[in-house]
């Protein structure tokens, strides 16, 4: 066993890259401001000093170029970990991600692969306005050939990031930036909390991995299943605690591949299901979850499945807390489901 | 609430005493039924372009981005500083590879017209661009081609039957019938999987070259795109990366004048050359007679030596002409003058090399005719062999359940479930 120390989510992510760069000389880290400065969120701090500029380097401000170059590096035999500074900036790279990285193994019948892990901070709750708050995970889950992973704790962030880097398929690793420095319960007008004292902030300093496609039962219960991921896990935990409800909270951890067994077993047990995500509602990943639950658990359901999501509007700056699917909206949905 | 598209507002304030603005929409010099006229082309003498040292600073050689590197003169003699002085065996190898490419194109075009496949793209008139470059590169240098560089595979002696299996999407297709015909992938030939999306290969080639440099390797990368797709953002991202990291990469722009029906003016050719894109990025730019295989060879060799000397990337514009349609789905008589290809002032690349070899006394018309006959038979025989593996739409494809393979390294449950559902449905339908 390696030593276990306290880490916030940024430190855990940094540690995952550090561990993998130490173990595998083909791992390279690239992105805007990730080198000498160590990233605008400090996630790559110290890596260039430790592993050199050939393995950790700043890039020009072209997301298309960053991902295109990472595809070429992957074809050469490297294992790139590009950072897209904000998920909102990932759109210029969409063609290289969706048409190239995600399709390379398939179109070449395995001759070439794109074993890259694209790290990107996502989600709102930081007064980032519409260009620093989005949750575009549903765009990627809709595309064949790419995996989408979202951690909710420092422990998971490190173990999942290591698994993603080791994975030979391209993986989008969205980091909920609202909980980089501490869990967030959705009560925006109370002081921010840190990860100090949180059980899941005790993180091994060495190598460990959490397999992609295995959900985590964040809270076991029998009254209602709540499917969520990222920041929303903490908001849901808080809301359930306030209500004193015996809900089962499933932290999905990875959307593709999805842990359908855990979802199905939980909903069949509780007979009720709520889906919570911060992303916009229409064609969001919640729609897929809802369809999967309906197909598999219809005869076990005692109430209609509900969704609490971001609204189908751009993320508004001053009205952030009206947009954010916080405890008020989650509580109303739970009450509706439990009424039947 | 005011309508932001209100016509009065769009027209601005009336009565301002200024000339009206005009939008310039480019128009090619000749449309169908009109005479083609290339007399305005400024074609310098074959020995006019100076050849700088491979490590020269880009700022000292900007004229080369606006001139034309040529080797073969009007009489077929190799002249000037760029003459690569190739031995006879290399010249004849070039000639044969170009002729084989043309014979292959003719056969596969016909196969498409016979309904044996869905699609084909000829490279007629552009053979020198691929073959001159392929022979100037080392065999283990990595190529990131666009869709009209079949000549690279042929120059690297890749089995043409393997290419045909891909074109027929048959059970012998290593790519399992997943890609549109001619979107080859041949890792062993240093030939990257071709994408149908334009110029995506540009930053990928730069990334490969950066990786090679970062690892202290000695191999370089080369990539190709058309002049039309230099307008893609990927092109400019790639140039920026190549410049910033001085990547050991050769970026080729095949300026064949036409992007489907859009002439090169829609990519900016009225304003400047495509080689001149290099000037703004501070990288070496060469504009080359793309129908002169010796010039293509010499320019590529110069750029390869430059890359290997850690002196940085090179952007090469190959000035050529797309003799045929964009693809089997295209009819160029609908948008351009039929005279263009016959009047093209830089001639035909095969005819020009043939003339050169005959002038050297190493080749003659009889041998050329015999070679063409041999190659046509060789291609015909290979096509017959390939057709034994099946042609498109005649059942001899990979098994249908293979469609779910290679999406991921390991098939996740949802793909297994969809695969089983498909098989069950077909079984239930009695198929």
Helix extents (H) in B68-143: 88-113, 127-136
Output the six-digit token pair for B171.
């059970």
Residues A182, A270, single domain; the answer is no
Q: Is residue A209 part of a domain?
A: no
Put the strands of the sheet holding B314-319 in their side by side order.
Answer: B142-144, B221-226, B249-255, B314-319, B284-289
Of the candidate ranges A26-30, B188-192, B338-342, the one whose mean pLDDT is the lowest:
B338-342
- Is A169 within 8 Å of B409 when comparing Cβ atoms? yes
Q: What is the C-alpha end-to-end distance of chain A, expressed in Å?
A: 49
CATH code at position A133 = 3.40.50.970
Mean pLDDT, chain A, rounded, equals 97
Residue span of the structural domain in which A284 resides: 216-339
Residues A160, A265, single domain; the answer is no
> Among the three residues A204, A225, A245, which one is the final residue of a domain in this structure?
A204
Instruction: Single out the catalytic residue among A132, A234, A238, A277.
Output: A132
Q: Give yes or no for residue B8 having a pLDDT over 80.
A: no
Which residues in A lie closer than 8 A to residue B195 (C-beta atoms)?
99-100, 107
Which residues in B lie closer than 8 A to residue A108 (C-beta atoms)?
175, 185, 187, 193
Q: Is residue A8 part of a domain?
A: yes
Q: Is residue A211 part of a domain?
A: no
How many whole angstroms separate alpha carbon B136 and alpha carbon B97? 13
Q: Is residue A210 part of a domain?
A: no
Catalytic-residue membership of A238: no
Confidence class of residue A340 from pLDDT cuts 50, 70 and 90? Answer: confident
Residue B15: the pLDDT is 63
Residues A193, A275, single domain; the answer is no
Residues A56, A126, single domain; the answer is yes
Are B149 and B143 in contact by the 8 Å Cβ rule? The answer is yes
Give which of B187, B194, B272, B191 is closest to B230, Cα–Cα: B272
Are A250 and A228 in contact by the 8 Å Cβ rule? The answer is yes
* B88-113 helix and B349-360 helix, angle to the nearest 10 degrees: 150
pTM over 0.80: yes
Q: Which residues of B touch A (CB under 8 A)?
A: 142, 144, 174-176, 178-179, 183, 185-187, 192-193, 195, 197, 200, 202-212, 214-215, 221, 233-234, 236-238, 240-241, 244, 406-409, 412-414
Percent of residues in chain A assigned helix, strand, coil, to nearest 5? 40, 20, 40
Residues A25, A144, single domain; the answer is yes
| Phi-psi sector, A197: left (phi>0), alpha (psi -120 to 50), beta | left
Which residues in B lie closer than 8 A to residue A77 (C-beta atoms)?
211
> Among the three residues A162, A184, A204, which one is the final residue of a domain in this structure?
A204
CB burial readout B42-62, b (16+ within 10 A) else e? eeeebbebebbebeeebeebe
Output the six-digit token pair for A305.
């499945």
How many whole angstroms separate alpha carbon B165 and alpha carbon B389? 7
Q: What is the pLDDT of residues B33-76, one digit of tens each?
A: 999 999 888 899 999 999 999 999 999 999 999 999 999 999 99
Residues A199, A223, single domain; the answer is no
Mean pLDDT for B265-289 is 98
Are A182 and A141 in contact by the 8 Å Cβ rule? The answer is no
> How distant is the Cα of A297 from the closest Cα of chain B, in angstroms?
16
Residues A9, A114, single domain; the answer is yes
- Is A105 within 8 Å of B408 when comparing Cβ atoms? yes
Which residues in A lie closer than 8 A to residue B414 (C-beta atoms)?
257-258, 260
Confidence class of residue B125 from pLDDT cuts 50, 70 and 90? Answer: very high
ipTM above 0.95 for this complex: yes
Q: Which of B200, B211, B408 sits opposite A73 (nearest CB)?
A: B211
Which residues in A lie closer than 8 A to residue B238 (C-beta atoms)?
65, 68
Residues A142, A48, single domain; the answer is yes
CATH code at position A328 = 3.40.50.920
How many whole angstroms separate alpha carbon B16 and alpha carbon B20? 10
Distance of CA B287 to the CA centre of its chain: 15
- Is A107 within 8 Å of B240 when comparing Cβ atoms? no
Residues A279, A322, single domain; the answer is yes
> Among the three residues A184, A204, A224, which one is the final residue of a domain in this structure?
A204
Residues A200, A222, single domain; the answer is no
Half-sphere exposure of B415 (CA within 13 A, CB side): 18
Confidence class of residue A77 from pLDDT cuts 50, 70 and 90? Answer: very high
Pick the CATH number of B58-331+339-388 from 3.40.50.170, 3.40.50.10710, 3.40.190.10, 3.40.50.970: 3.40.50.970
Are B69 and B49 in contact by the 8 Å Cβ rule? The answer is yes
Q: Is residue A250 part of a domain?
A: yes
């Amino acid at each position: 066993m390696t030593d276990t120390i306290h880490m916030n989510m940024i430190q855990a992510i940094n540690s995952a890259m550090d561990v993998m760069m130490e173990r595998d000389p083909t791992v390279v880290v690239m992105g805007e401001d990730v080198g000498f400065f160590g990233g605008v969120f400090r996630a790559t701090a110290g890596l260039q000093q430790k592993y050199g500029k050939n393995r950790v380097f700043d890039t020009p401000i072209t997301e298309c170029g960053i991902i295109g170059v990472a595809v070429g590096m992957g074809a050469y035999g490297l294992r790139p970990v590009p950072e897209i500074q904000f998920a909102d900036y990932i759109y210029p790279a969409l063609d290289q991600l969706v048409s190239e990285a995600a399709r390379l193994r398939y179109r070449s019948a395995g001759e070439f692969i794109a074993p890259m892990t694209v790290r990107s901070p996502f989600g709102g709750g930081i007064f980032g306005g519409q260009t620093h708050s989005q949750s575009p995970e549903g765009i990627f889950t809709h595309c064949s050939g790419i995996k989408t992973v979202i951690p909710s704790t420092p422990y998971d962030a490190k173990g999942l990031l290591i698994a993603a880097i080791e994975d030979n398929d391209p993986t989008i690793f969205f980091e909920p930036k609202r909980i980089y420095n501490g869990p967030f319960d959705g009560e925006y007008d109370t002081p921010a909390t840190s990860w100090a004292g949180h059980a899941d902030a005790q993180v091994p300093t060495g190598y460990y991995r959490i397999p992609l496609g295995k959900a985590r039962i964040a809270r076991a219960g029998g009254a209602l299943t709540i499917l969520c991921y990222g920041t929303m896990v903490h908001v849901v935990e808080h809301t359930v605690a306030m209500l004193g409800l015996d809900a089962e909270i499933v932290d999905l951890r990875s959307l593709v591949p999805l842990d359908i067994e855990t979802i199905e077993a939980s909903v069949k047990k509780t007979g009720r299901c709520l889906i919570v995500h911060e992303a916009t509602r229409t064609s969001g990943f919640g729609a897929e979850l809802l369809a999967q639950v309906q197909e598999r658990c219809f005869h076990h359901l005692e109430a209609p499945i509900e969704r609490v999501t971001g609204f189908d509007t751009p993320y508004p700056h001053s009205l952030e807390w009206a947009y954010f699917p916080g405890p008020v909206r989650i509580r109303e949905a739970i009450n509706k489901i439990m009424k039947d | 609430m005011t309508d932001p598209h209100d016509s009065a507002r769009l027209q601005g304030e009336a009565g301002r005493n200024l000339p009206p603005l005009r939008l310039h929409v480019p128009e090619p010099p000749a449309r169908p039924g009109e005479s083609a006229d290339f007399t305005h082309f400024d074609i310098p003498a074959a020995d006019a372009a100076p050849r700088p040292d491979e490590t020269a600073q880009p700022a000292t050689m900007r004229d080369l981005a606006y001139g034309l590197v040529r080797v073969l003169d009007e009489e077929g003699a190799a002249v000037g500083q760029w003459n690569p002085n190739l031995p006879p065996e290399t010249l004849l190898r070039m000639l044969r590879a170009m002729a084989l490419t043309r014979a292959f194109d003719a056969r596969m075009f016909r196969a498409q017209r016979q309904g044996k496949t869905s699609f084909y793209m000829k490279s007629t008139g552009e053979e020198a661009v691929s073959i001159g470059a392929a022979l100037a590169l080392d065999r283990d240098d990595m190529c990131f081609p666009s869709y009209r560089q079949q000549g690279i595979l042929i120059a690297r002696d890749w089995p043409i039957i393997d290419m045909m299996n891909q074109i027929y999407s048959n059970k012998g297709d290593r790519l399992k019938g997943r890609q549109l015909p001619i979107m080859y992938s041949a890792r062993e030939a240093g030939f990257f999987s071709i994408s149908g999306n334009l110029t995506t290969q540009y930053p990928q080639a730069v990334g490969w070259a950066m990786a090679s440099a970062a690892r202290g390797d000695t191999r370089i990368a080369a990539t190709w795109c058309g002049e039309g797709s230099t307008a893609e953002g990927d092109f400019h991202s790639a140039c920026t990366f190549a410049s910033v990291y001085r990547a050991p990469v050769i970026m080729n722009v095949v300026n064949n004048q036409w992007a489907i029906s859009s002439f090169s003016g829609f990519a900016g050719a009225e304003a400047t050359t495509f080689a001149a894109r290099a000037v703004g990025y501070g990288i070496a730019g060469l504009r080359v007679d793309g129908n002169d295989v010796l010039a293509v060879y010499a320019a590529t060799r110069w750029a390869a030596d430059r890359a290997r000397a850690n002196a940085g990337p090179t952007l090469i514009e190959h000035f050529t002409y797309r003799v045929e349609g964009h693809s089997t789905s295209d009819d160029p008589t609908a948008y351009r003058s039929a005279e263009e290809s016959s009047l093209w002032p830089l001639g035909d690349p095969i005819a020009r090399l043939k003339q050169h070899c005959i002038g050297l006394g190493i080749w003659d018309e009889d041998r050329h005719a015999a070679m063409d006959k041999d190659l046509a038979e060789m291609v015909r025989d290979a096509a017959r062999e390939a057709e034994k593996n099946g042609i498109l739409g005649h059942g001899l494809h990979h098994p249908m359940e293979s469609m779910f393979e290679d999406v991921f390294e390991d098939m996740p449950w949802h793909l297994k479930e969809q695969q089983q559902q498909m098989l069950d449905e077909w079984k239930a339908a009695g198929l």
